[in-house]
Amino acid sequence: MNRRDALSLAAPALLATATRATEAHGEPFKHPPMEGPPLQIAMLLYPSFFTLDVINPQTFFKGLGNVNVFHVAKTREPVAGDLGIPFVAQHDFDSCPRDPDILFVPGGLKGTIPAMGDRATIDFLADRGSRAKYVTSVCTGSLLLGAAGLLKGYKATSYWMVRDLLPLFGAELVKQRVVIDRNRITGGGATAGLDFGLTLASVIRGADYAKMLQLAIEYDPHPAFDAGAPETAPGRIVDHLWEMRDGEIKAVREAATAAAKNLGKG
């Protein structure tokens, strides 16, 4: 039997194998086109921001392809997050592109308190957020969006200890890990930044592309304990954390109340 005859006999079997593979795995994944100008993604920095709130979403932002991800702060001087690691912004408030595709705000209880009262920061968010295609946040970053008047009439979420403050800014609180309301996408606290980033990736590039990014970073969480939310953590742990952070939470509430009053004056 010559090679041509052998291939002819094998062809049906190969076709059947390919058909079974397609049925098992679905249609082959097609990488979405990355045409046009790069997406402009502005990530706000401010003193004592929660470092994970920046690192986790940026992991997915960079994976989107054809993007320009940059940090923006009041000045281009180094800005230290809660871990003391300095970040250097590529843009200050004046040089930041006027029409970002994505405006992102991280949280952090300690840093959010003064940031809500910083006129320059709030004015910057109000301005860029009025034109951004997507206005987004993780953790208490949504309080800053609220203080800038960007969540009025929108559903949103925040860090669980202070998310009840969102209605002060005219937002509708939704107790979910990630909340999408039109072009507003907000995430819960800290580690929710990964779920937020994955969700946003699916909005921008499609579900299959987001799944590819998830697999690429092996995001397959299996926490050692089921205590990552107040609804599942032991009551004694929840109570202790409230006691530990009592002063800080009160300060956030005072800052949010003052920011809401200033928003009303505007």
Which residues are identified as catalytic? Answer: 139
The answer to whether the CB of 183 falls within 8 A of the CB of 133 is yes
Amino acid letter, 179: V
Could you give the CA distance from residue 232 to residue 42 in angstroms, rounded to a whole number?
34
Amino acid letter, 235: G
Could you give the CA distance from residue 100 to residue 19 in angstroms, rounded to a whole number?
44
Exposed / middle / buried, residue 17 (Cβ in 10 Å: 0-12, 13-18, 19+): exposed
Could you give the CA distance from residue 179 to residue 199 in angstroms, rounded to a whole number?
9
CA distances in angstroms from 213 to 94, 141, 178, 196, 224, listed in the order given: 33, 24, 18, 13, 24
